[in-house]
Amino acid sequence: EEDLIYRFNGITFTTRSSPELLKSLVTFNAREDDVLLVSYPKSGTHWLAEILMHLYASRVALTSPIEFGDVSRLDQLNCLSCKRIIPTHLDGNMLPPTFRLKKCKVIYLIRNPKDIAVSMYHYYKENPNLPTVDSWPRFLEMFLKGDVVCGSWFDHVLSWEKHKNEKNTLFLFYEDMKKDLPTVVRKVSAFLGVNISEGKINEICEKSSFTKMKINTARESHDPSRTVCVLTSVRKLVFRKGAVGDWKNYFTPKQNQMFEETFNKKMAFSEVAKHLVYEY
């Protein structure tokens, strides 16, 4: 149980990221045309990754997360000759410095943390790579304290929001994707400098629907050494509900109040958080 997780830089990691790899991340060589797909777990990473893969006509490699595996990971990434889309759940302060020096494009995906807490609770219960949790109230406490894998949601968002206004950074909201996916896909393709037709956009939206992805994943036999989320080895577990507002089925009024107190305290100066508060 306890062997599944450990702490590094004050953040909880699973043993699917070796400490040696985390230590050697600073030495990583980013390339100008790398695209980083950044998210806190359960924000819709698999969904956005699917969309990105359909977007490019040319050959691109969707790699496993930079923090996944052992030190050999960095060499594997180095050996890829084509353009790389690199997912990561790393805190902004742990990003290998060359990504910023080379001004690589960064897409940061964000989702209402109440829905993330619920999604992550189920993931903890079912995912063999995570320790077990006894109850929802206990998990929510851990989530608010940041005592979960990848650390505090609040700190994660804040660490990336510092770079929000840089030209090479795009913030996307899961809720916007649910509301109007074609608009988001258009925005992403413009940001990445990819030319695609309206017909292709519709095709991408169809292929990346929750139902399609869930069905396809159940059919595929998946290679667990290839994943877009360091926590995922059983891809089937990812496609649970895919809805906005499921938190309302779990939070008691008191838990909601507790959540909002922490949220307001931690996110007092966050522009991104305002969007979440007013819109969702």
Beta-carbon count within 10 A of 231 CB: 25
With binding defined as CB under 6 A, does residue 119 bind ligand A3P? yes
Active-site pick, 89, 156, 163, 275: 89
Enclosing H/E stretch for 263: helix 253-266
The contacts of residue 86 (CB under 8 Å, 6+ apart) are 34, 35, 36, 37, 63, 65, 66, 77
Q: Phi, psi (5° rounding) for residue 243?
A: -120, 160
Smallest separation, CB 80 to ligand A3P (Å):
22
Please give the residues from 217 up to 256 whose contact with ligand A3P meets the rule CB under 6 A: 229, 238-242, 246
Report whether 108 contacts 171 (CB < 8 A): yes
Smallest separation, CB 96 to ligand A3P (Å):
21
Nearer to ligand A3P, 174 or 263 (CB): 174
Structure tokens at 254: 């008191």
Nearer to ligand A3P, 68 or 74 (CB): 68
Please give the residues from 35 up to 74 whose contact with ligand A3P meets the rule CB under 6 A: 39, 41-47
CA distance 275 to 82: 36
Q: Which of 91, 115, 161, 175 binds ligand A3P (CB under 6 A)?
A: 115
Query: At residue 9, what is the residue type?
Result: N
Smallest separation, CB 22 to ligand A3P (Å):
20
Beta-carbon count within 10 A of 199 CB: 8
Smallest separation, CB 116 to ligand A3P (Å):
8
List residues binding ligand A3P (CB under 6 A): 39, 41-47, 115, 119, 122, 208-210, 213, 229, 238-242, 246
Catalytic residues: 89
